[in-house]
Structure 1
Amino acid sequence: MKNRVARKSLGFALASLVVAASASPAIAQENVLNLYSSRHYQTDEQLYSNFTKQTGIKINRIESEDNPLLERLRNEGKNSPADVILMVDAARLWRAQIDGLFQPVKSKVLDARIPANLRGKDDGKGAEWYGFSTRGRVIVYNKANVNPEDVSTYESLADPKNKGKVCTRSGSHPYMLSMIGSMIERNGEAETEKWARGVVGNFARPPRGGDTDQIKGVASGECGVAVTNTYYYVRLLRSNKPEDKELISKVGFVWPNQKTSGAHLNISGGGVAKNAPHRDAAVKFLEYLASDEAQSYFANGNNEWPVVKSAVAANPALESLGKFKAENVSIATIGKNQIAAQKILDRVGYK
């Protein structure tokens, strides 16, 4: 990761020097976009190259994990060359917003295409960030030893009948903080803390690894049940590797809370950086991400759901998950609740 970031940083610096030396300010403003992204999916390469083909705007890209990226932006301050910041979770977007790293954007295109509950704070000057794709946090279970009816809700993970069966990644990971933040919004802090304590009591092993590791743990029988983001599950469904096909054949899939609140959804999104030197290009890029073409690519390239209804998701594996009921909770509120979520996890020893 460090070598990749260093290479991209060098490329960024060289590209900036070329622009500065060979272009007037007006041309630089129009033809360059400096993108800071915690999305590190190879499938996004085509997404970015299509934007350049359509607009002639070259993208200089810095990719890193979310915490180092946010720290870099804070350290750069007013001198930051960042134009657009992309993050992959409501908790991360909220953190960037609280740190003052975004600026509001007024765009008729974005307001018309991005649902209001998938936008950041708007004090009348425009939203500070927008969600461009969604992913569900779902339950997977071992087909051989777990009854799906016993794990049909998030709340069931704390039920004593699932003692010794539950696996998750670290509770402090943003994916988990956001899910727990949504539970706080729906059920209140006291009930959520009771739930978290029950989950800790049901662990098959201490939290570790990423979402794919949770699916592998369920397939191997180390775990009976786990939570994962949908795009990890669909990635395995689409794989042609024999070992992945064997793995996924042992795992069942549940849309949680379909008779109550609905499944938790999170987002990948972004906004214009606070001190963006190429603001016009930045807004144009966000509007491009809301286009039908880009929205369809989120679905077909990285197995995420488009947020724009008119976009076509020609992804049979994603479609095979079926229709589902999603929770009706503001993404911005979920991000705000992450501090309370972390305090709950600390109190109950959810590492």
Structure 2
Amino acid sequence: MRLAITVGLTTVLMGLTAPGVAPQDAPPGRSSWNREGAARYLDERMDAWFAKAKKLQTGQRVTACVSCHTTVPYVLSRSVLRRAMHVSRATPQEVRVLEEATRRVETYGAHQPLYDSNERKKTESRGTEAVLNALILARADAEQNRRDASEPTRKAFRRLWETQRSDGAWDWLDFGLEPFESVDAAYYGATLAALAIGTVPAYSTSQATDATVGIDKLRGYLKEKYLQQSLFNRAWVLLASTRLKDLLTRAQREALIAELQSRQQGDGGWSLQTLGPWRWSRSAAPFRAPGRLDASLLAKSDGYATGLIVYTLREAGLPVDHPAVRKGLQWLRANQQDVQVGQQIRPAWRTHSINYDREHGGEEGEPWPRMFMSDAATAFSVLALVGSD
């Protein structure tokens, strides 16, 4: 089995690193945003993540943990951006993410969990990682235009079904941090699982018992819990529904699209703060963030909310000239800005933490975590713009 997995990984990596051509500047006019600058920002932020993220013992080597604010958006967006720039060669960062995810899959049951301070965190880690690895490997298969899953992806999906809860979701890391690591984020995690399944056609239509039972349970969970979710989580299930069928009824889909449009701000963007309600894993009011927040910053339109919603609306079928989409794209083109990141200045889109004020110094304002949500903002702004240019 190990030989088969290694051969499969080698085949995928050879495909991802096929010779490419030099990047080309975006044409003038409607595509007037800095693609090369966005690419540099995303690549350098992944390098920073590899260097500074928590290291996990994985066989004889160590790997970096996978983050929902930096790694997942990078995986979803970077290959899309390089294709738009007429580059076929995968970046070194793309290759490393795939290599590390495959090594984690190879060592299930024997590697260091994401967090192991207690049994609860070990359980949350197993569920979270099963979903994220399946998504990363499914995306790699899609890059190769595979009809059937590669062997590493098959193993990742076997782990996905093994760790699925009886209610159809997965245990998810909960540190009381919105929007990715809270008690409500289990629904977000389930939408990522749906995206992973829908990315590999052989799985979304599989007749295998484990897949059909697991997909049915997942659909049941997403439908049953839908009305209890924040608008952020419901936006993600709308996106997932463009990959995996029968997650939303037509009425739910139309009502959700209308609700998303109603939250658009006067400048054409959306604000992450308005996509709640946010609870920070608190079971009863008052619902407060763990740290001090800058309300004036959070009230403004931001890149993550705007990019995510414009991209999702486009994937859901709204045309590029739809008023909400058109205004959102105008906001995105106007708000790629030069940002000081360490010693470098790079063009990016900003989003601010809804857990801590990271903009005014102090321990929470160090440059590396200060840009976490801007990593997601830049990736989803790229997805929205590339998909509409």
Quick one: higher RCO (CA 8 Å, sep 6+), 1 or 2? 1
Higher helix proportion, which one? 2
Greater Rg, structure 1 or structure 2?
A: 1
Higher strand proportion, which one? 1
